[in-house]
Amino acid sequence: MGYAARQPVMTGDEYLVWEAGQTDRHELVDGEVYAMAGAEAGHVTTAGNLYMALRQHLRGTPCMTFISDMKLHVAARDSYFYPDVFVTCAEADRASRLVMREPVLVIEVLSPGTAAFDRGDKFAHYRQIASLQEIALVDIGSRRCDVYRRHGEGEGLWLLHPFESGEGVTFASVDLRLSAADLFADVDPEPAPRPRPAGSAP
């Protein structure tokens, strides 16, 4: 999901009151509010494929799957995000209607405009959620998925488990293996760059 205009600095409580009256979604990152820009079809479809697969897999369990309209609170930084897809199995989250706080799995589908932020600052925020076991970053263009799994207690060590194009992906936190065909169902390949005419400027 992309970012648009930045808003004035707010506290977490101020953000929740303000956000409730907005027609568009915004994320609070270390006191700064960012408007969420729209996503392309491939991004939305991939997130939908993940949501449907996880929801079906977890049906009948205490776990709940959410897509990008649900807020996730990172208490250690008093920041709020709208992950593309996430799963929580916490009893406290089942009692909440507007904000979740204890996910076990968070998935972000990378967009060109936000890939660096998703891999950098946002990843650093997510790592501070004590309940979180896996963070997955899905790249539509390369058909790859990088899954980071927590090793040890606290913020600890996060180990990368890369899944290459065609391999599918395993989410160990919820015991789900998803094929590449299911992950990218109905997602058109991104067009290859067109060759430049000889003698053209780079």
Q: Is residue 192 part of a domain?
A: no
Instruction: Return the pLDDT at 136.
Output: 97
Q: In this structure, is residue 32 part of a structural domain?
A: no
Residue 86 zone, left/alpha/beta (φ > 0; ψ -120 to 50; rest): beta
Count of structural domains within the chain? 1
Most confident of 33-37, 40-44, 101-105, 186-190: 101-105
Alpha helices (H) along the chain: 12-20, 41-57, 91-94, 115-119, 121-126, 180-183
Range of the structural domain that residue 64 is part of: 40-183
The reply to whether 130 falls in a domain is: yes
Q: Is 70 part of a structural domain of the chain?
A: yes
Reported pTM: 0.88
Measured distance CA(84)–CA(65) in Å, rounded: 11
Whether residue 3 lies inside any domain: the answer is: no
Is residue 195 in some structural domain? no
What confidence tens digit (pLDDT) does each residue in 149-179 have? 999 776 679 999 999 999 999 999 999 999 9
CATH code, domain with 172: 3.90.1570.10
> How far, in Å, are 37, 54, 140, 158, 178 from residue 175 at the CA level?
32, 10, 23, 18, 10
34 inside domain: no
Domain assignment present for residue 108? The answer is yes
